[in-house]
């Protein structure tokens, strides 16, 4: 069991699984081993397997708050929101101080647009994530004075991430609130677009990883309410595809370093506070005819990217384009001075500050539109 923990910390998920399963052979009632298997399977994108193992752990010992919490996270990702709610609540009954369970319960309320109820929970916890979600709730509730106060509080506390950057920009556009943006004052100036077709063997790397994950009958999909006529893979592609996943991760890390070097003279916080260490999290999005992705941002990212593995022929000049915005997006049509439409084609790489809202213009074509999306997440 301890060997499995060591392998998991090293990122060797297959070896960790083997060790945990061997531990269960020796100790069939070791609930922590079943829980650990669930966590590994969740990381690998096997949500059903994760849920099954968390439930096996609870069948042995139902009084472990942490297991109820992890079950809740897996159910949450699978789209089973009612059951996730019950799991988070059970974790909090067993451990009223379980801050992660409380935070995730509040996130679920936020996703259900129960902003006032979510805000009440977030306000009880002073950790960074909860306070940022409190800001998001206040913004959705339209509480201008409270938004200003919360932004000032977070900035004064030294927060300089994408969430702060996004809401400083959007509050300025919506309310005229003037605040220093510690993340990036002019994020649209840091959008980078290039082709990878002549840089790497595109079909043998990105084409292959998309084919592997999209044709694997065992591969699972993550619930994605923002996506129309499409699917999103669960788990992290970089840890799901062995050597191919590692090869693609190295390609992306090289492009991220090239991005940093290109903007190295900038005094924006995005560059000046560049993370010394980071991890990459990636997933595949495949859209069918009429598919689109609604406006959103990636809260945990520092830099967000997308690689266009297949883009169908365009029926309209902006069909299937990526649009990035530093303002609130009420529709997916108009482009303004605070938005930029990027004409993506097969082989395109786009990198941009994670503070930017982004969305996909609808397209009409028989071919699938396939994208590898990823975040650079500070450690």
Quick: pLDDT tens for 233-270: 988 999 888 899 999 999 999 999 999 999 999 999 99
Domain ranges of the chain: 2-175, 187-378
Quick: pLDDT tens for 163-180: 999 999 999 999 999 999
Average pLDDT, the chain: 93
* Contact (CB, 8 A) for 29 and 20: no
Rg (CA), the chain: 21
* DSSP state string for 42-74: HHTT-HHHHHHHHHHHHHH-TT-HHHHHHHHHH
Q: What does pTM read for this prediction?
A: 0.86
Q: How would residue 334 be classed by pLDDT, with cut points 50, 70 and 90?
A: low
Tokens of 276: 């010394």
Tokens of 326: 């530093």
- Supply the pLDDT for residue 253: 98
- Supply the pLDDT for residue 239: 86
Q: How would residue 45 be classed by pLDDT, with cut points 50, 70 and 90?
A: confident
Quick: pLDDT tens for 107-146: 999 999 999 999 999 999 998 999 999 999 999 999 999 9
- Supply the pLDDT for residue 280: 97
CATH number of 2-175: 1.25.40.10
* Same fold flag, 2-175 and 187-378: no
* Contact (CB, 8 A) for 27 and 33: yes
> Which option is the CATH number for 187-378: 2.60.120.620, 3.40.50.150, 3.40.50.1980, 3.40.50.450?
2.60.120.620
Tokens of 348: 């395109």
In degrees and rounded to multiples of 5, residue 201 shows phi and psi of -80, 90
């Amino acid at each position: 069991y301890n060997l499995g923990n060591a392998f998991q910390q090293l990122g060797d998920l297959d070896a960790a699984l083997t060790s945990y399963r061997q531990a269960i052979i020796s100790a069939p009632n070791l609930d922590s081993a079943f829980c650990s298997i669930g966590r590994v399977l969740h990381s690998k994108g096997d949500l059903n397997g994760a849920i099954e193992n968390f439930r096996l752990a609870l069948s042995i010992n139902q009084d472990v708050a942490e297991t109820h919490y992890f079950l809740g996270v897996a159910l949450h990702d699978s789209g089973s929101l009612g059951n996730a709610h019950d799991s988070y609540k059970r974790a909090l009954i067993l451990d009223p101080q379980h801050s992660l369970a409380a935070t995730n319960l509040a996130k679920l309320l936020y996703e259900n647009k129960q902003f006032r109820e979510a805000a009440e929970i977030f306000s009880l916890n002073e950790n960074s994530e909860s306070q940022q979600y409190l800001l998001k709730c206040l913004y959705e509730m339209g509480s201008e004075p409270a938004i200003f106060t919360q932004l000032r509080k977070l900035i004064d506390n030294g927060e300089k991430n994408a969430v702060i950057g996004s809401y400083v920009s959007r509050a300025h556009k919506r309310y005229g609130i003037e605040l220093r943006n510690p993340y990036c004052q002019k994020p649209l100036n840091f959008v980078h677009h290039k082709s990878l077709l002549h840089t790497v063997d595109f079909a043998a790397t990105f084409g292959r990883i998309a084919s592997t994950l999209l044709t694997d009958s065992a591969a699972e999909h993550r619930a994605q309410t923002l996506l129309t006529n499409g699917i999103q893979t669960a788990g992290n592609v970089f840890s799901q595809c062995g050597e191919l996943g590692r090869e693609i991760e190295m390609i992306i890390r090289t492009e991220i370093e090239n991005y940093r070097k290109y903007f190295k003279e900038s005094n924006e916080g995005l560059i000046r506070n560049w993370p010394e260490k980071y991890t990459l999290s990636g997933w595949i999005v495949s859209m069918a005819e009429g598919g689109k992705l609604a406006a959103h941002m990636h809260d945990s990212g520092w830099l967000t990217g997308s690689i266009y593995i297949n883009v169908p022929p365009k029926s309209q000049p902006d069909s299937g384009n990526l649009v990035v915005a530093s303002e609130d997006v009420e529709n997916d049509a108009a482009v303004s001075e605070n938005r930029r439409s990027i004409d993506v084609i097969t082989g395109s790489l786009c990198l941009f500050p994670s503070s930017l809202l982004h969305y996909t213009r609808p397209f009409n074509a028989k071919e699938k539109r396939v994208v590898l999306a990823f975040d650079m997440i500070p450690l």
